[in-house]
Chain A
């Protein structure tokens, strides 16, 4: 560690990380649209750069110091108090890495796109950059800016490259977009209210740490209302019951890359926001709403798991399963203790990798066989052994098999939750049974069983198509076998942020009513 450059000198690392895909995007803009190969390679290069950079950040992050590192702060809109403030800590660094992993893989997952290639990759790169931005922003305004940047490219991508199954892609796209935007409208109100409340002492700010530091300016009543707004906004983003109905349809309609990014990282912004903004800034409100949120979370876990049982379309299965898994994240956030929060972030990472792998595999199945209907598929392990491996890995990760990163993160969550909400926890853990049921059914019906001649023409994934499998497979098992690499990192974020102390004070705080 000592040999590596110090954090101060690295303040340009994050800007470069986010600029890499944008530069690639600009290059592509000026490429002729026939040069599809070049376009793909350029975008892959761009993502590779930022992946390497974020990996570098991940490895050189000083655990001992903790807190925000690789920071960069530029006053942006003085009259609002907006700063272009970037930085990462133990909470956001894994998410940044996740974004780049999935972004990089998504390029390869869409390697076979042949319709309007240029536009596709332009939009994809914008999308990835936007998601990245939300995780490295240290300023609420910038965070929100980046978050809403991603909405429109997604819409266009779904509409153009999406697929119409149970619902038309137009419907899916519009639903996805408007649902999230209206959620973000409430978020915006809450954000403004928070901003005004924090600016009451004369110097307005959007900086997360400042907002968190000005606890005394937020009355409990205010915190309750503001946090409720956060829940509506972020809750619908992380697809918490009953705000989840956009996500299965959306994923089903979206092209593979979008599904990967959306399920993989985008909806994690909800969880991330709830932690950064909900818990750190509005702990009292969080405490007030925690029981309700926990209940909703458990409902989403079981409810979505059950519904996944009844699905016929692969993407719907994974869509609902992601709703179900996000339930664990939400309940962990509601538990309001460091262990659970660590687990939550870890789970977001784990689920992101898993979902991305799942969607990429499904994407390959779909683009080769042109169907996602489980009943029509079967015995694909004969024709596509490699794809089958990827599919099984994803499935096993999804049902939380030990050895995959998903298990240990889920376990951490349970460990954090079981004291706070024992009943919820037990119910939630019961979810793993149903998860196993629908995952195993899907695997069995899609991959195993007698060889089907109509699929003999399918070719196994090869070449660039293997990238998602290799990348995610490696991450899933590596982080699963050496969990300290991930969870330890998150742990430094949680501890150095002084979350424990905040929650301590909150737990003493008399709320009246429920407490």
Chain B
């Protein structure tokens, strides 16, 4: 344990917590009419925290405190950057949407930030209970956010589904944790890894599987994915965006830590990796195949994000610096790619009150910018150069092949090419269909900024991935 300055390592978390509370208070105190300023407030404070976190990433010192209960390494900070960026973009893109909410506008941002805080805890947590707490903080905030449209039956249905399934899964996760605690007498990942021992007893096996299930649920790994599409479809679009981008990334942050430290004990690797390979393969295949016949944009993105989870799993299984680097890199560009798409989706939802693909018809005519952004984002998700997605996939699969998992690379590449099919059918609707009678969708202000920004980042990273790659490498190395 190096000497650390409590303030420096926890500043972002504290700041977010405070901010969230302030917003909550404002939401309660200030009359509904005078809440114009909330969004800018959120944005700028997030910006500040993000800036600090970035500085922290490059110049902060490694630290682990409370006996390794909470880590402050570049890995964690990298993910904090990711979460903050995601939150920032979501807030930016959701301004108009939130304005149109009938009630409870104030709490929206507060909850968003609470979720962010939970994610940051997950990223930093080095101990199972902490992980659980962070996870629940995130999830519970999401229960509320998903069901935010109180008058919309679909929204609340999504909420209750998410709640029941999420609670069940976390119960299972928790049971696993309790078993591990029983087996090793500790919940510190490091010590658990030390004591879990080489061979698998039925109990430890059960614990491992439960852990896997609990986290797999969060990253919507097939067959734990079924909740995803429903919730994505029902939730308010900005929430869906945040759910798709950040919560998944947070779950991955945890998974990587847990996997690399505990699950990856000697006995695990041979079988467990095979198992994970199979799961990853199934995830890619199922996600992409089901996405093909979708007619609802958010649902389509949900399935595509399931497939993306499969790609990311490949990187973890490779369990090499290269692999983790790939995961980190991909998670980051995934934020921007998805954010672009969801920003457009939010816009359409806001202007046309729908997220059916057919409602994108003739978007080329109605809003060229939105069309271009959407196209770029989808193609980046599909991994078409020169967009960032291509480099990301390249990192992931080359890492896997480097470990000798060739088959998974075949599946991955072929599947990602198949995914082009449904991405392009969205593009086709936007470019080809006339979209008679649909309103123009002018893009202004924050959301316009979001779109342009995400697109530029996507293209820029695709053309010159080196800087982000360097960050990812640094973060990945801090784990090993």
Chain A interface (Cβ within 8 Å of chain B)? 76-80, 119, 144-145, 148-149, 151-152, 155-156, 159-160, 170, 174, 177-178, 181-182, 184-186, 188-189, 192-193, 195-196
Contact with A along B425-443 (1 / 0, CB 8 A): 1011001100000000000
Query: Does A145 lie within 8 Å of B386, measured CB to CB?
Result: yes
Could you pull out 9 A-B pairs where Cβ atoms are within 8 angstroms? A79-B470, A152-B375, A159-B432, A174-B425, A184-B417, A185-B410, A185-B417, A189-B397, A192-B394
Complex CA distance for A223 and B421, rounded to whole angstroms: 31
Query: Does B466 lie within 8 Å of A78, measured CB to CB?
Result: yes
Complex CA distance for A76 and B385, rounded to whole angstroms: 15
What residue of chain B has the Cβ atom nearest to residue A169's Cβ?
A: B432
Which of B42-50, B98-106, B206-214, B401-409 forms contacts with chain A?
B401-409
Complex CA distance for A174 and B292, rounded to whole angstroms: 13
Interface on chain B toward A: helix, strand, loop, or mixed SS?
helix
Query: Does B385 lie within 8 Å of A148, measured CB to CB?
Result: yes
Complex CA distance for A188 and B398, rounded to whole angstroms: 10
Query: Does A160 lie within 8 Å of B397, measured CB to CB?
Result: no
What residue of chain B has the Cβ atom nearest to residue A151's Cβ?
A: B384
Asked if B390 is at the interface of the complex by the 8 Å CB criterion, the answer is yes
Query: Does A193 lie within 8 Å of B385, measured CB to CB?
Result: no
Q: Name the one of A152, A159, A174 contacting B421, with C-beta atoms under 8 angstroms.
A: A174
Contact with A along B379-393 (1 / 0, CB 8 A): 100001110001100
Q: Which residues of A contact B420 (CB under 8 A)?
A: 177-178, 181
Complex CA distance for A511 and B465, rounded to whole angstroms: 41
Q: Which residues of B contact A188 (CB under 8 A)?
A: 394, 397, 413
Contacts A181-B417, A181-B420, A182-B418 given; does A144 touch B464 at CB 8 Å? no
Query: Does A192 lie within 8 Å of B470, measured CB to CB?
Result: no
Complex CA distance for A79 and B326, rounded to whole angstroms: 12
A145-B390, A159-B428, A184-B417 known, 6 other contacts, Cβ within 8 Å: A77-B391, A152-B379, A178-B420, A185-B410, A186-B410, A196-B398
Asked if B469 is at the interface of the complex by the 8 Å CB criterion, the answer is yes
Asked if B304 is at the interface of the complex by the 8 Å CB criterion, the answer is no
Complex CA distance for A193 and B466, rounded to whole angstroms: 22
What is the total number of residues of chain B having a CB less than 8 Å from a CB of chain A? Answer: 35
Chain B interface (Cβ within 8 Å of chain A)? 364, 375, 379, 384-386, 390-391, 394, 397-398, 401-402, 406, 409-410, 413-414, 416-418, 420-421, 424-425, 427-428, 431-432, 464-466, 469-470, 473
Contacts A76-B464, A79-B470, A152-B384 given; does A192 touch B417 at CB 8 Å? no
Q: Which residues of A contact B417 (CB under 8 A)?
A: 178, 181-182, 184-185
Q: Name the one of B385, B402, B424, B432 contacting A177, with C-beta atoms under 8 angstroms.
A: B424
Query: Does A196 lie within 8 Å of B401, measured CB to CB?
Result: yes
Nearest Cβ on chain B to A113's Cβ, whole angstroms: 16
Query: Does A185 lie within 8 Å of B416, measured CB to CB?
Result: yes
Complex CA distance for A377 and B398, rounded to whole angstroms: 54
Query: Does A79 lie within 8 Å of B386, measured CB to CB?
Result: no
Q: Which residues of A contact B424 (CB under 8 A)?
A: 152, 155, 174, 177
Nearest Cβ on chain B to A75's Cβ, whole angstroms: 9
What residue of chain B has the Cβ atom nearest to residue A119's Cβ?
A: B364
Nearest Cβ on chain A to B62's Cβ, whole angstroms: 22
Complex CA distance for A185 and B417, rounded to whole angstroms: 7
Q: Which residues of A contact B473 (CB under 8 A)?
A: 79
Query: Does B410 lie within 8 Å of A189, measured CB to CB?
Result: yes
Q: Name the one of A156, A177, A192 contacting B409, with C-beta atoms under 8 angstroms.
A: A192
Nearest Cβ on chain B to A218's Cβ, whole angstroms: 15
Complex CA distance for A193 and B416, rounded to whole angstroms: 18
Nearest Cβ on chain B to A82's Cβ, whole angstroms: 9
Q: Which residues of A contact B410 (CB under 8 A)?
A: 185-186, 189
Q: Which residues of B contact A156 (CB under 8 A)?
A: 427, 431
Q: Which residues of A contact B427 (CB under 8 A)?
A: 155-156
Complex CA distance for A430 and B394, rounded to whole angstroms: 45
Query: Does B398 lie within 8 Å of A77, measured CB to CB?
Result: no
Q: Which residues of B contact A174 (CB under 8 A)?
A: 421, 424-425
Complex CA distance for A134 and B297, rounded to whole angstroms: 34
Q: Which residues of B contact A178 (CB under 8 A)?
A: 417-418, 420-421
Contacts A152-B379, A178-B417, A181-B420 given; does A193 touch B406 at CB 8 Å? yes
Top 8 nearest A-B pairs (CB, nearest first) are: A185-B413, A181-B417, A145-B385, A185-B417, A185-B414, A148-B385, A192-B398, A182-B417
Complex CA distance for A221 and B364, rounded to whole angstroms: 50
Q: Which residues of B contact A193 (CB under 8 A)?
A: 401, 406
Complex CA distance for A25 and B5, rounded to whole angstroms: 54
What residue of chain B has the Cβ atom nearest to residue A141's Cβ?
A: B394
